[in-house]
Structure 1
């Protein structure tokens, strides 16, 4: 009985995913596709919270009004960059740096220091410039706009985060 409370069933998982591809399921659940493949193959038990999230997403899809507007990047952002602009890269503002890191490596948003090290170490500025030239950066901004609504606050809790400084973003919904 206790194991049933911790894990969901594969049958229910597959019903709730409704024939989506493994990549689409992974994107919805915000995990890697290998995790989903392990669930489907039976190599890993499916945690109960994954099933619950799929139930909530299905409920939202059923109850959403048909004329619901999709937020555009011009809407007020859910997260605002808490970092200084890079004087060496005036063409890449802090909001774009935050979006680029937030989409590809969100765990580096936990502190300004880890964010700065990631941006410098992985040459994020040049990657953003390249994506802008190739016309791919608008998709990153759209994905960031969706993700920023659900920034996990749990990254900032616990003893491990004591004394690491402020995060690389602030909540755009609260007054500064």
Structure 2
């Protein structure tokens, strides 16, 4: 008896493979509408197995791309407007910005909240550890996607009101 290929993927696999990506970016990668992705995440629609496999292939391609072909930090369009930390010359402001943008983007709303997060959560040591373990490249890949989405979400609303300048500028 030959076992048939599964018809539907698991939500846990889908969420793992799309971690850190916006719904719009996932929809673009899968060439479908954002409503479809929202239905998958909410459990209203089953996830076709081929969508999971496509996400796996895309993730593998991104991880296998040599460093020379990966875009550098200057192509994200956002620049940190914070001073480099003299105690950590090996961690430039662009890397701090990427780390905070991926792990706690709401702390990018002002320089003050950004500095408090970096100091309070010891981000410099976390970046150094991620570089040693080889996981920091994943943070940079996710940041390149999020850097396009974050400014769009902050154009209006309370995040920029009376907080001072954000921790980055276009």
- TM-score interval w.r.t. the shorter chain? 0.5 to 0.7
Is 1:133–2:132 an aligned residue pair? Answer: yes
The farther-off stretch of 75-84 and 108-117 is 75-84
Is 1:39–2:42 an aligned residue pair? Answer: yes
CA contact (8 A) 1:81 1:169 kept: yes
Alpha-carbon distance in 2 for matches of 1:25, 1:94: 26
Structure 1 unpaired stretches of 5+: 1-14, 47-69, 172-176
Task: Please give the root-mean-square deviation of Cα atoms over the aligned residues, in Å.
Answer: 3.4
Structure 2 SS opposite 1:125: helix
User: Residue 82 of structure 1: CA displacement?
Assistant: 1.2
Structure 2 unpaired stretches of 5+: 1-7, 24-37, 46-68
Q: How many aligned positions are there?
A: 125
Per the normalisation by structure 1, the TM-score is 0.58
CA contact (8 A) 1:99 1:144 kept: yes
Per the normalisation by structure 2, the TM-score is 0.60
Residues 150 and 162 of structure 1: CA distance in aligned 2, closer, same or farther (over 3 Å)? closer
Residues 75 and 93 of structure 1: CA distance in aligned 2, closer, same or farther (over 3 Å)? closer
Residues 132 and 126 of structure 1: CA distance in aligned 2, closer, same or farther (over 3 Å)? same
